[in-house]
């Protein structure tokens, strides 16, 4: 299925203001059209942009009312490459500011892009897990200090939530699952069943980096449930999911840690039984074959999508080309976009192929 022209933009640096102006006009026309019963349902949808930041994370959620949440900001450097790609996604969604920026943890592929982003688009509130706990890693300390310097200007609000708290974002329900190494203790409503996948998951030593402190969230939009745990590690997944599954089923698993082997235990992935998994890997980062196997073997998985072809995965451990935004070759910055509806149905659009796959409500 091909998308309407409104969606047919590539988030390239060459995208001109003229194109954005045209998009604005098209959206105004769409809004007018939405007044009629036969109108497209785009205005009632949650849009989620999986921006390609080459093995970091940058995931932008936009509610029907235009409230926005960006989870992580990609890397610093590269002449603002990641910030430019995020801003292009935001503008394509009709945003002139980003209301909330959630930093899962203070590694450079998550917090690194903050200074370049604030130089390009207004930000309302930052959300994070508290202090940086990894003071021995140079790039982490640098990213943390640059972020602290921005907070010290007093221009931004800051929220440091605990597990169980619901973030004050209108139009979708965002509940904190993990923060600073602490996890939700009580099963979510409807969850709490014994998790059979625990016995399939080896016990691993506790992680000692910022990863385990990731600020993880479960995002609910009507019947649609999406899980983002940042780079939360295997040991914490086991704590969260064993012996009982505290999360229940989710529709969309935003693959933890770029599909690297330190995360995505069977206890987590087979416990949440996602319909779709979306992996924000880079060509040379993430997409470990053993992790790819665990995701692909997940019961009821309909598709795994990848932001990049994984070089480590080779021919045996990559999905079919139509599910990859950026195949082998020069960096093109193609993105994936999910459009979710309150009945639980959703679409995934690949900006490279311009094709959309529909996942009907179940």
Spatial separation of the C-alpha atoms in residues 55 and 48, rounded to whole Å: 18
Nearer to Zn ion, 157 or 208 (CB): 208
Query: Of how many residues is the chain composed?
Result: 362
Min. distance of Cβ 72 from Zn ion in angstroms? 8
Nearer to Zn ion, 109 or 134 (CB): 109
List the structure tokens of 180.
């600073």
Nearer to Zn ion, 161 or 282 (CB): 282
Min. distance of Cβ 78 from Zn ion in angstroms? 16
Min. distance of Cβ 257 from Zn ion in angstroms? 6
Spatial separation of the C-alpha atoms in residues 279 and 257, rounded to whole Å: 9
Min. distance of Cβ 107 from Zn ion in angstroms? 5
Nearer to Zn ion, 109 or 237 (CB): 109
Spatial separation of the C-alpha atoms in residues 244 and 228, rounded to whole Å: 19
Nearer to Zn ion, 56 or 340 (CB): 56
Spatial separation of the C-alpha atoms in residues 26 and 30, rounded to whole Å: 6
Residues of this chain that bind Zn ion (CB under 5 A): 109, 231
Min. distance of Cβ 211 from Zn ion in angstroms? 7
Show Cβ contacts of residue 271 under 8 Å, excluding neighbours closer than 6 positions: 195, 197, 198, 241, 245, 247
Which ranges constitute the DSSP H helices of the chain?
Answer: 17-33, 81-92, 108-111, 114-118, 138-152, 234-241, 266-272, 289-296
Environment class of 197 (CB within 10 Å of its CB; exposed 0-12, middle 13-18, buried 19+): buried
Min. distance of Cβ 56 from Zn ion in angstroms? 6
Show Cβ contacts of residue 28 under 8 Å, excluding neighbours closer than 6 positions: none
Nearer to Zn ion, 58 or 348 (CB): 58
Min. distance of Cβ 267 from Zn ion in angstroms? 21
Nearest to 81 by CA among 120, 138, 137: 120
Nearer to Zn ion, 109 or 128 (CB): 109
């Amino acid at each position: 299925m091909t998308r309407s022209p409104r969606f047919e933009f590539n988030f390239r640096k060459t995208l001109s203001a003229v194109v954005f102006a045209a998009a604005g006009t098209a959206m105004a026309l769409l809004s007018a059209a939405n007044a009629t019963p036969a109108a497209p349902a785009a205005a009632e949808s949650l849009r989620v942009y999986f921006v390609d930041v080459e093995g970091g994370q940058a995931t932008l959620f936009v509610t029907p009312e235009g409230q926005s949440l960006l989870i992580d900001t990609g890397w610093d450097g590269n002449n603002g490459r990641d910030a430019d790609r995020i801003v292009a996604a935001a503008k394509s969604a009709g945003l002139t500011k980003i209301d909330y920026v959630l930093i899962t943890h203070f590694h450079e592929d998550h917090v690194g892009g903050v200074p370049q982003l604030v130089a390009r688009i207004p930000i309302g509130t930052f959300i994070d897990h508290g202090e940086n706990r990894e003071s021995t890693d140079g790039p982490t300390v640098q990213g943390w200090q640059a972020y602290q310097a921005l907070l010290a200007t007093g221009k931004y609000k800051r929220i440091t939530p605990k597990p169980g708290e619901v973030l004050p974002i209108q139009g979708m329900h965002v509940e904190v699952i993990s923060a600073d190494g602490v996890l939700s203790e009580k099963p979510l409503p409807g969850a709490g069943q014994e998790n059979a996948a625990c016995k399939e998951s080896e016990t691993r030593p506790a992680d000692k980096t910022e990863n385990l402190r990731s600020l993880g969230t479960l995002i609910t939009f009507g019947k649609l449930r999406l899980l983002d745990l940042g780079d939360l590690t295997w040991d914490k997944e086991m704590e969260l999911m064993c012996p009982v599954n505290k999360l229940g089923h989710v529709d969309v698993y935003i693959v933890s840690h770029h599909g690297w082997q330190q995360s995505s235990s069977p206890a987590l992935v087979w416990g949440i039984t996602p319909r779709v998994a979306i992996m924000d890997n880079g060509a040379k980062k993430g997409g470990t074959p053993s992790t790819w196997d665990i995701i692909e073997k997940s019961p009821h998985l309909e598709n795994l999508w990848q932001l990049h072809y994984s070089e480590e995965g080779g021919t045996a451990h990559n999905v079919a080309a139509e599910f990859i935004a950026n195949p082998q070759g020069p960096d093109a910055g193609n993105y994936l976009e999910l459009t979710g509806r309150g009945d639980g149905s959703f679409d995934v659009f690949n900006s490279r192929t311009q094709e959309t796959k529909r996942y009907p409500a179940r």
